[in-house]
Homo-oligomer: A and B are copies of this chain.
Amino acid sequence: MSEPRKLEVLRAIVEDYVHSREPVGSKALVERHHLGVSSATIRNDMAVLEEEGLIAAPHTSAGRIPTDKGYRLFVDRISQVKPLSAAERRAIHSLLEGPDDVDDILERTVRLLSQLTNQVAVVQYPHSRRAVVRHVEFVLLAPQQVLVVLIADTGSVGQKVIDVGFDVGNEALMMLRSRFLGSISGTQVDLLPQVLPSVVALCPPELRGVAQTLAHGLQVLSGSSREERILMAGTANLARSNVDFPLSIGPVLEALEEQVVMLRLLSDMGDDPRGVTVSIGRENPYDGLAEASVVATGYGSGAKVGILGPTRMDYPTTMAAVRAVARYLSRILGD
């Protein structure tokens, strides 16, 4: 049997199954696609494909459906990314307009992506490695409670309430603010851990404890809070696309609610900014997503954007959409 035709058959099965949601048989296959052979030949090919674990039959006299492994091969070797339609291009373009508020942009991005793909869209807050400290603010909320605000030149604002455990007065706090501001304004955000200790060291001894606490707060703000959040949209698509074909939706919703799970999932995927990574069914580290696939890619300086849907999804189109959106996102946030 010819290797090219085997792949061709697999491709046809995947496409038909994704389209019809029903096991596809040998006869239907030769009718819908003009492979130049008869159904009997296809049957032989299918037997081989099944033996190799690429497709499976739900029961004896049913057609075949692709396995996770089958999808994997399909994605890796067969599918060629489909070009987007003009309407889709236009939709993505319109993202470029409007204010450059990061939150706004991300919000609109997930909405767009979920509509484009009819799946759940997920985006991670952008990494701010190159971000530079623009401003620091300490606000005394209560006798021992300080609100710490860190503003970067990218427009990202981090905030955190801290219990300083010491009755610092407002004047002292303002003084500390000036010192911090003077020392770290203009510093790269991810260099803060190296810079902050020296600032603390230069503070008057009686305030050093407070300064230490505040510095720690700033450090936390700089490191984690932002990039470890994700935004999502389109969870309703889960219910819609599985109306007759029950992907058990509960575990998937659970996974989506656990930001930690999603973050790990995204991080574990390759972040080749040009390629799109796909994680299929049981390849996913999280059990609840055993019937789901994730299509994601990096954007900007390493954060991820992607979608989550049933393993039975239109990979070429979805991958194209994710890649296109990621590119635009990189461009918008680039400057």
Q: In the complex, which residues of chain B have a beta carbon less than 8 angstroms from the beta carbon of A149?
A: 137, 149, 151, 157
In chain A, positions 150-165 with a C-beta closer than 8 Å to chain B are: 151, 153-155, 157, 159-163
Binary B-proximity of A232-275 (CB < 8 A = 1, otherwise 0): 01111011100100001111011011000000000000000000
User: B100, B134, B159, B243: which contacts A161 (Cβ < 8 A)?
Assistant: B100
Asked whether, in the complex, the Cβ of B139 is within 8 Å of the Cβ of A137, the reply is no
**Does any Cβ of B come within 8 Å of A333's Cβ?**
no
User: Contact between B159 and A157 (Cβ–Cβ < 8 Å)?
Assistant: yes
Q: Report how far A163 CA is from B233 CA in the complex, Å.
A: 27
Number of copies: 2
CB 8 Å contact bits of A71-112 with B (1 = contact, 0 = none): 000000000000000000000000000011110100000000
**A145 within 8 Å of B by Cβ?**
yes
Whether A147 is near chain B, meaning CB under 8 Å from some CB there, is: yes
Question: What is the 8 Å Cβ interface bit string for chain A, positions 210-227, against chain B (1 contact, 0 not)?
Answer: 000000000000000000
A134 touches B145 (CB 8 A): no
A160 to B137, CA, bound (A): 17
Q: A145 to B335: give the CA distance in the assembly, Å.
A: 12
Which A residues between 9 and 26 are near B, CB-CB below 8 angstroms? none
- Chain A residues with a Cβ closer than 8 Å to the other chain, count: 41
Chain B residues near A335 (CB-CB < 8 A): 142
CA distance A29 to B153 in the complex (A): 68
**Residues in B whose Cβ lies below 8 Å from that of A163:** 99-100
Q: B141–A153 contact, CB under 8 A?
A: yes
Inter-chain CA distance A151–B238, complex, in Å, is 38
Q: Mark A289-302, 1 if CB is under 8 A from B, else 0.
A: 00000000000000
Q: Considering the complex, give the chain B residue whose CB is closest to the CB of A114.
A: B257
* Docked-complex contact B257 and A249, CB < 8 angstroms: no
Residues of B within 8 A of A142 (CB): 100, 335
User: In this assembly, does A135 line the interface, its C-beta being within 8 Å of a C-beta of chain B?
Assistant: yes
Specify which chain B residues have a CB less than 8 angstroms from the CB of A147 in the assembled complex: 134, 151, 155, 157
B235:A162 contact, CB within 8 angstroms: no
B-contacting residues, A121-180, CB 8 Å: 134-135, 137, 139, 141-142, 145, 147, 149, 151, 153-155, 157, 159-163
> Given known contacts A100-B145, A157-B149, A161-B155, is B250 in contact with A243 (CB within 8 Å)?
yes
* 0/1 string, A33-72, CB within 8 A of B gives 1: 0000000000000000000000000000000000000000
Q: Inside 8 A of A239's CB, which chain B residues have their CB?
A: 248-250, 253
Instruction: Pick from B100, B151, B236: contact of A254, CB below 8 A.
Output: B236
A159 to B153, CA, bound (A): 13
Residue of B nearest to A241 (CB): B250
A–B complex contacts, Cβ < 8 Å, 23 sampled: A99-B163, A100-B142, A100-B145, A100-B163, A101-B159, A102-B161, A134-B147, A135-B137, A135-B139, A137-B149, A142-B335, A147-B151, A155-B159, A157-B159, A234-B257, A235-B235, A236-B251, A236-B253, A236-B254, A239-B249, A239-B250, A239-B253, A240-B250
11 further interface pairs, Cβ-Cβ under 8 Å (given A233-B257, A235-B253, A239-B248): A100-B141, A100-B163, A104-B161, A137-B151, A141-B154, A149-B149, A235-B257, A236-B251, A236-B257, A239-B250, A240-B250
